[in-house]
Amino acid sequence: MKVGYVTPEDLPIPPVRGGSVQIYTHTLLRHFSQANPFASDEPTIFLISPDKTRQSGWRQTYDNGVFHYTIRAAGKQDYQKQALHVLSQINPDVIQIDNRPKFAGFVKQTMKKPTLVHLYSNTFLGPRHILQNEVKTTLESLDTVVLISRYLRNMIVDKYSMKKSHWNATVIYPGIDTSLFPDSTSVKRDLESFSKEQPLKVLFVGRVIRQKGVQVLVDAVKRLVNAGYPVELTIVGKTHPWEQQYENQVKKSAAGYPVTFTGFVAHEELPLYYSRHHLFVCPSQYREAFGLVNLEAMSSGLPVIGSRVGGIEEILEKGAGMLVDNPHSAESFRAAIAYFLQNPHDLHSQSFVSRARAGEFSWQSTAHRFKKLYQSLTEPLTEPLTASLTEPLTGGTPSGVPSQQSSTWRHRSR
C-alpha cells in the first residue's frame, strides 16, 4: 500500500527549525520505519515536505523506509501545486494531508483517491484560510478526519454542526518516547524544603505569545517572590515576529525577578531542561488542542500544573496533574505553585504518577492506529481501530465536494 503524505509548506522535515506538526510527523514516520517495510501489511510512505535549502524544483531521497520528496517553492500555492504534481506521479493508494483541510479537499476532488486530513488545531478551519460556508462540505468530502484530541473533535462538531452520519472523524492521540526523557524523580526524592540556596525550579516550554499565558505565569511567580517564597522560573521558547511587543512586555515585567528567558531551544535539547527542574506549568489561555509539552514534562517525571482548557484536561486525567479552572488568574497559578512549595514531598510522589501516565501514550500505538486506518480506507477493516488512545466517531459514507474523570489535584480559584 502506497501512502502519499503531504506536510505543511512552512517548515522542513527533519524539524531542524522546530514546529509541532513537523516534530510529530518526523517521529511518527520513524516508528513506521522500525517495522518490516517489506511486510504485506506495512504501508510504504511517500513523504512530501518543503525544502528551504535549494533554489527551485524538487528532489527524491530514500531513508529508513521512507521515500522523501522535498519541494523548493515560491510560496504556499506553488508548494501545493508541486505537491499535487508529485502525488500524481506517485499514484498512491491513500493520501494524507497534514493540517491543511482546504488543500485536502482539493486533493480529494482532483485525485479521486481515499484522502484524510490530520488536524492539530482548528486554525486552518478559520476564515483566513477557508470560506466558512465551505468548512462543513470540505470535512464531509474527506474519507477520514483525524483529530488530535476529543476536545478538538467536539469543538468542530459544535461549531460547524457536524452530524455523525455525514463525516468520519477519529481521535488519535500523539505518542511520547519516554526513553528520550531522563527520569528526574531522583532530583526530588530527598527534598524536605526549599530555600534561597535550593529554590523551587519552575519550567515553561512553548511559544512566548499571549495565547500561551506567559505573562500570567510571570505574574504568579512575582507574587510568590514578593511573599518571600524561594522560586525560580525558566521560560523556554521563541516569539513570532508579530508578537515581539508582547515578549518585550513580559520581559520588562520580569526584570529584577528570578526569571530566565532562553529563547529557542532545539527539541533534542529539551530533555536536559526538563531534568533540571522540579515543576512544569502550562498556563494556556484558550484553544489548546492537546499540549504535547505536558507529556514531555510528565515523561521526565515533572508534576504538571495546567489550565483547564482544550485537550490539556485529557492528558492530566487519572490524577496526573493539577488543573487550574481560571486560566487568566495569576492568583490561581500562584496558589497552585505554592502548594508544592509548602508540600515538597508531594513533588516526589506526583513524579511517579506523571511518568506512569505519560507511559500510556506510545508512538508504537499511534503508528499502529494510523496503519489500521490506512488499511480501512483501501480494504475491509480486519481489526477494530478502537483502542485506549483512539476514539472513533464514524457514520455513513462521506459525501460532498468542496469549492474519565478529571484530576483530583484540581485547584479552584476564581
Q: Which of 24, 8, 31 is nearest to 295 (CA)?
A: 24
What is the reported pLDDT for 407?
37
E strand or H helix at 6: strand 2-6
Per DSSP, 326 falls in state -
Instruction: Find where cell 488568574 sits.
Output: 329
What is the reported pLDDT for 103?
98
Counting runs of H as helices and runs of E as strands, what totals does the chain give? Answer: 14, 15
Whether the CB-CB separation of 340 and 200 falls below 8 Å is answered with yes
Q: 87 is written with which cell numbers? A: 502525488
What is the reported pLDDT for 19?
81
Residue 59 binned pLDDT confidence (cut-offs 50, 70, 90)? confident
Instruction: Report pLDDT digits (tens) over 88-134.
Output: 999 999 999 999 999 999 999 999 999 999 999 999 999 999 999 99
What is the reported pLDDT for 79?
95
0.75 surpassed by pTM: yes
Instruction: Report pLDDT digits (tens) over 352-407.
Output: 999 999 989 999 999 999 999 999 999 855 555 544 444 433 333 323 323 333 33
Domain 2-175+362-393 class, CATH top level: alpha beta
Q: How many CB atoms lie within 10 A of CB 308?
A: 19
What is the reported pLDDT for 264?
93
CA–CA distance, 332 with 219 (Å, rounded to integer): 11
What is the reported pLDDT for 397?
30
Which residues, 6 or more positions from 211, have their beta carbon under 8 angstroms from its beta carbon?
284, 285, 286, 287
CATH classification for the domain delimited by 178-358, as one of 3.40.50.980, 3.30.429.10, 3.40.50.300, 3.40.50.2000: 3.40.50.2000
CA–CA distance, 205 with 208 (Å, rounded to integer): 9
Maximum average pLDDT range among 60-74, 188-202, 374-388 = 60-74
Instruction: Report pLDDT digits (tens) over 271-328.
Output: 999 999 999 999 999 878 898 899 999 999 999 999 999 999 999 987 889 999 999 9
What is the reported pLDDT for 18?
76
As annotated, the residues of the chain forming the CATH 3.40.50.2000 domain(s) are: 2-175+362-393, 178-358
